[in-house]
Amino acid sequence: MSQTTHTRRHQWRRVWLNCHLYLGLTVGLVFVLVGLTGSLLVFYVELDEVLNPALQISADSAQQPKQPYETWLQALNNAHPERTGAWRIELPRDEQAMAVARYYKPAETQHLHFAPYMVWLNPYTADVVSSRFWGQTVMTWLYDLHFTLLLDKTGKLIMSIIGGVLLILFITGIYLWLPTPNKWRTALTFKRHSSTARLIFDVHKLNGVYGLVLLLLLVITGILLELPDTFNPMINQISPLYEMPKVASQPQNKARISVDAAVNIAVQQYPQTQLRWIETPNNTTGSYRIMLYQTGEPSQRFPKTMVWIEQYTGQVLAHKDARQSGAGDTFITWLHPLHSGEIAGLTGRWIIFISGFIPAVLYVTGFIRWRQKRAVKNRF
């Protein structure tokens, strides 16, 4: 290698090093915040119950039969008669969990991009246990901090831009780490009997190298989830996405069918499924939307198998079999369970939980290493 080539390579390395350093010291702080909040949000439903013991049902109470779904809806309407639109009810995840109903566009928070009214309901007694707006609980506040930096829709754009900058941070880090052919063993292991400075460097280096795949997965899925209105049309150009059907009920001289009847009709369409969500009609021309989980779907909590039911006649107006989705829909459906780790069950969630601490380790070790190098430089 000529002296000129060596000098040029050294100069470029300094450029990449400075880029990595200053991006890490600035945007890296946000990365730490997002990583730590993301770890907590992996188990945010469970943690919400720990923080709010009233949301847990005793084992003795869970022995009695559940109330009909229609009774649940009547309890919601009686507790909140001013909310006359649709309720979206999430079924309890286990026998000691509450049902959670969301009223998506309450008048009080219409100015916000996402701030539904949430009601916890005891499925055995149909008692309303708690009613709060999204963002008023610790865990939903942390969710907004993680997803939007508490800046609502503007925060989503900012977080997407930060995600793009983090990709540059990763690229510069890999470039600076990339070893020569005879140095791979050293680059992938701790140096034995090393100094404190070298140990800090190795911790930083190896966390970045071995955590890279997970960090890339989290950042890329996070960017795509932040701005679906931007990225979904692009995906649609490659593989046409499913269009939600425009369905409506025809008002008749009879009452709507019960929630339980609508659920039974939907389950008959897909017998080998698990009921996860019930969306009630939003007005006299609205319809039921029943969301069911089929084995093989990537997310059990947010399945994409759906049945729309006419509220007066019980006619099936439309249905969607998630297992028949095209490539584009499948890709989008996988984003959230990949980001949360749900795709791999409890093991996957723990992996994502642990990975949320990697940015903090990288930031602390990177900061210490920077201070060490500055101290050495100032001596001369």
Same domain, 220 and 303: no
Domain boundary among 136, 155, 174: 136
Same domain, 224 and 285: no
Determine phi and psi for 372, rounding to 5 degrees: -60, -45
Same domain, 278 and 154: no
Residue range 199-256, pLDDT digits in tens: 999 999 999 999 999 999 999 999 999 999 999 999 999 999 999 999 999 998 889 9
pLDDT at residue 1 in the model:
53
Domain boundary among 136, 166, 196: 136
Same domain, 34 and 150: yes
- pLDDT-derived band at 60 (thresholds 50, 70, 90) equals confident
Average pLDDT over residues 93-108: 95
Q: Is residue 212 part of a domain?
A: yes
Same domain, 73 and 121: yes
CATH number at residue 307: 3.10.450
* pTM summary value: 0.93
What's the rounded Cα separation, in Å, for the pair 123 and 129?
10
Same domain, 227 and 287: no
pLDDT at residue 380 in the model:
63
Same domain, 230 and 151: yes
Spatial CB neighbours of 89, under 8 Å, sequence gap ≥ 6: 69, 72, 73, 76, 99, 100, 101, 102, 121, 277, 278, 279, 280
Same domain, 104 and 169: no
Domain boundary among 136, 171, 196: 136
Tokens of residue 66, six digits = 């559940």
pLDDT at residue 6 in the model:
63
What is the percent of the chain where pLDDT is above 70? 98
Same domain, 92 and 121: yes
What's the rounded Cα separation, in Å, for the pair 233 and 136?
33
Q: Is residue 249 part of a domain?
A: no
Say how many C-beta atoms besides its own lie within 10 A of residue 97's C-beta: 19
Mean pLDDT of the chain: 94
Q: Is residue 247 part of a domain?
A: no
Q: Is residue 183 part of a domain?
A: yes
Q: Is residue 30 part of a domain?
A: yes
Same domain, 169 and 215: yes
pLDDT at residue 275 in the model:
98
Residue range 272-330, pLDDT digits in tens: 999 999 999 999 999 999 999 999 999 999 999 999 999 999 999 999 999 999 999 99
Q: Is residue 373 part of a domain?
A: yes
Same domain, 34 and 57: no
Residue numbers of the domain that contains 13: 3-41+146-238+348-378
Largest CA distance in the chain: 91
Strand duo 316-320 + 99-103: pairing: unpaired
pLDDT at 257 over 80: yes
pLDDT at residue 334 in the model:
97
E-state strands within 179-304: 273-279, 287-294
Q: Is residue 251 part of a domain?
A: no
Average pLDDT over residues 333-359: 97
Same domain, 167 and 218: yes
Tokens of residue 359, six digits = 């940015």
Greater model confidence, 114 or 378: 114
Q: Is residue 98 part of a domain?
A: yes
Residue range 123-152, pLDDT digits in tens: 999 999 999 999 999 999 999 999 999 999
Number of structural domains (the chain) is: 3
> What length is written for the chain?
380
